[in-house]
Amino acid sequence: MIHRSTLARSLAGAALALTLAGGAALAQTAPAKPGAKPAAPAAAQQAPAAGQQAAGPQQIPAIPIPWMKRCRQEPSINKEVCELEQTIITDTGQFLVRFGVFEVQDDPKKAFTVAFPTGLLLRNGFRVALANEQPILGTFVMCDERFCRGDIQVDQGFVDRMKKAPGLTLQVANAVGRLISYPIGLGDFAKVYDGPQTDQKVFEGQIAKIQEQVKARQEALKAEAEQREQQTKAGLEKLGAEKLKNAPAQ
């Protein structure tokens, strides 16, 4: 049996965060292969509030961090526990969501785990739906200053379907009750689940490439903002000069 306290401690220690110079946090994708489907969506979608006309979902450019598999011997139960996690961030490094599977050796009960940024309507929990399946409801376990973590008890059948599914959708309500959906491709989940633990050096190399990508995007946005500021300043100066030129002589 997976004890909730054990799971909560595991999740608390599992947050792999690498901080960029701009203050954005990375948590944990291999670079996409030519012609391959992306391992995660290019966006999170925010559903319209009740009574509000849908003008299309809000698109947030996103980057999937590679799947990570970690296993360790848990002294308190004298069994091996394994965690598989993937994290999705924006192209500027902002954390969007982390999800995965937590399991204990020889235990048929497993946990599908999630972590979202704070600012949620916690009493609504969260939902996960594998492709072509009905969503199932999960509850939040704990929150800290950055994340709210939750889990759903699942079994090997769920994991087997997850290994074959092209993707899943995570849903959570924000503080004002608006539903936010994260359609996510499952990429290399099956390969990582059935394979050995993640090679830390390889993973760090992948993270370094993503950090470079995020930094380049941050610098591009900064340059765009500075250019707009200069254009605005020049426009105001031109407008002021024209007003002075056309002002009546005293």
Query: What is the domain partition of the chain in residue ranges?
Result: 4-226
Contact between residue 82 and residue 70 where contact means Cβ atoms under 8 Å apart:
yes
In order, the DSSP letters of 194-208 are HS----HHHHHHHHH
Architecture of domain 4-226: Sandwich (2.60)
CA–CA gap between residue 146 and residue 132 (Å, rounded): 32
pLDDT in tens, 181-212: 999 999 899 999 999 999 999 999 999 999 99
**Mean pLDDT of all residues belonging to the chain:** 79
CA 130 → CA 64, 136, 158, 182, distances in Å?
18, 9, 9, 12
What pLDDT, on a 0 to 100 scale, did the predictor assign at position 228?
86
The pLDDT value recorded for residue 46 is: 55
Angle among Cα 89, 90, 95 to the nearest 5 degrees reads: 40
- Per-residue pLDDT averaged across 220-241, rounded? 81
- Check pLDDT > 80 for residue 134: yes
Contact between residue 63 and residue 216 where contact means Cβ atoms under 8 Å apart = no
Radius of gyration of the chain (CA): 22
Across residues 62-70, what is the average pLDDT? 93
Mean pLDDT of the region 72-91? 94
Residue 187, Cβ density class (10 Å: 0-12 exposed, 13-18 middle, ≥19 buried): buried
